[in-house]
């Protein structure tokens, strides 16, 4: 049985502690850490995953916000010189401070559902220094991240994630694997920064355009982006004006954003 503490899970931190040894080992098998690598665990909690990951030939950083749990972790891993604990809010933490020369970061964690979306978007800025990420998330979110164009789960979050990352849903996890059990299914996902990104003129504008496109996802895209593009301009970007937002692939959203940037640049010249 996984190591546990008498710590009472805190709702404000969205804490659901993983307790199933089989699931823990499955996660580690998917990560498949190699000697000399640098792992960063976000929200280690009681340290049940950390305990399996920790070994002398790995460098391991833990980012935890709960001071009581940090005390448990410090006691649990006392004397482990290759393991460092950082008291911090992962949403505000500067992960670039953990960079090691020649060692890309591998991020892991059982993420609180209430911060997972903004945290994933926060991690985008560190993508160049990340090898991969393995996270436990709400299954609904993983389904959105990995959704195929045209599907009901394909949306704004899908487009943003799939522009920057390759997404691979690995396996589902039932609520009974946690204490306290969440009210929803969970899933483990592998997130890998794309080696090459589609050229994008303005990342902020891309984000705003995608947000506007999905502001009325049941409407045809001419209803949400028609104030910016004619039907012909949409067609030039690979978009049919009669399509709904979920029918437009990531590449076409990039084309639309770049076309808008080019037009704005012409207007200022």
Whether residues 211 and 150 fall in one domain: no
Q: Across residues 46-74, what is the average pLDDT?
A: 93
Beta bridge partners of 190: 134, 168
Whether residues 212 and 173 fall in one domain: no
Strand order in the sheet with 165-173: 83-87, 59-64, 38-42, 105-110, 130-138, 186-193, 165-173
Query: Does residue 97 carry a pLDDT above 60?
Result: yes
- Residue 6: the pLDDT is 54
pLDDT digits (tens, 9 = 90+) for 148-159: 999 999 999 999
Whether residues 181 and 232 fall in one domain: no
pLDDT digits (tens, 9 = 90+) for 107-116: 999 988 888 9
Whether residues 227 and 160 fall in one domain: no
Whether residues 128 and 255 fall in one domain: no
Q: Across residues 51-73, what is the average pLDDT?
A: 93
Full residue range of the structural domain in which residue 163 is found: 11-193
pLDDT digits (tens, 9 = 90+) for 198-225: 999 999 999 999 999 999 989 999 999 9
Here the tokens at position 30 are 């998917």
Whether residues 139 and 215 fall in one domain: no
Whether residues 148 and 78 fall in one domain: yes
Beta bridge partners of 100: 103
pLDDT digits (tens, 9 = 90+) for 188-199: 999 999 999 999
Whether residues 99 and 42 fall in one domain: yes
Whether residues 50 and 108 fall in one domain: yes
CA dihedral for 47, 53, 61, 146, sign (positive or negative): negative
- Residue 14: the pLDDT is 47
78 falls within a domain: yes
20 falls within a domain: yes
Query: Does residue 8 carry a pLDDT above 70?
Result: no
By residue count, the chain amounts to 269
Distances 261 to 159, 203, 249 between C-alpha atoms, Å: 19, 10, 19
Domain count, the chain: 2
262 — pLDDT class (breaks 50, 70, 90) = very high
Query: Which residues, other chains included, contact 217 with Cβ-Cβ below 8 Å and sequence gap of 6+?
Result: 155, 244, 245, 246
Query: Does residue 3 carry a pLDDT above 80?
Result: no
């Amino acid at each position: 049985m996984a190591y546990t503490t008498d710590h009472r899970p805190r709702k404000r931190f969205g804490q659901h502690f993983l307790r199933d040894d089989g699931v823990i080992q499955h996660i580690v098998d998917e990560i498949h850490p190699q000697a000399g690598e640098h792992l960063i665990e976000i929200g280690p909690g009681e340290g049940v995953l950390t305990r399996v990951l920790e070994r002398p030939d790995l460098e391991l950083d833990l980012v935890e916000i709960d001071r009581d749990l940090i005390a448990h972790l410090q006691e649990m891993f006392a004397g482990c010189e290759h393991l460092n604990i950082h008291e911090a809010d992962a949403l505000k933490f500067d992960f670039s401070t953990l960079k090691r020369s020649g060692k890309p970061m591998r991020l892991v964690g059982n993420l609180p559902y209430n911060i997972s979306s903004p945290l994933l978007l926060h991690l985008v800025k560190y993508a160049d220094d990340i090898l991969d990420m393995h996270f436990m998330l709400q299954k609904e979110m993983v389904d959105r991240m990995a959704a195929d164009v045209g599907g009901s789960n394909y949306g704004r979050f899908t487009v943003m994630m799939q522009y920057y990352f390759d997404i691979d849903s690995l396996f589902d996890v039932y609520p009974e694997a946690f204490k306290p059990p969440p009210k929803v299914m969970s899933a483990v996902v592998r997130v890998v920064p794309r080696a090459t990104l589609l050229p994008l003129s303005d990342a902020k504008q891309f984000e705003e355009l995608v947000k506007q496109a999905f502001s009325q996802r049941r409407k045809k895209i001419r209803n949400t982006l028609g104030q910016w593009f004619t039907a012909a301009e949409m067609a030039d970007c690979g978009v049919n004006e009669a399509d709904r937002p979920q029918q437009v692939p990531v590449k076409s959203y990039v084309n639309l954003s770049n076309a808008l940037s080019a037009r704005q640049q012409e207007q200022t010249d």
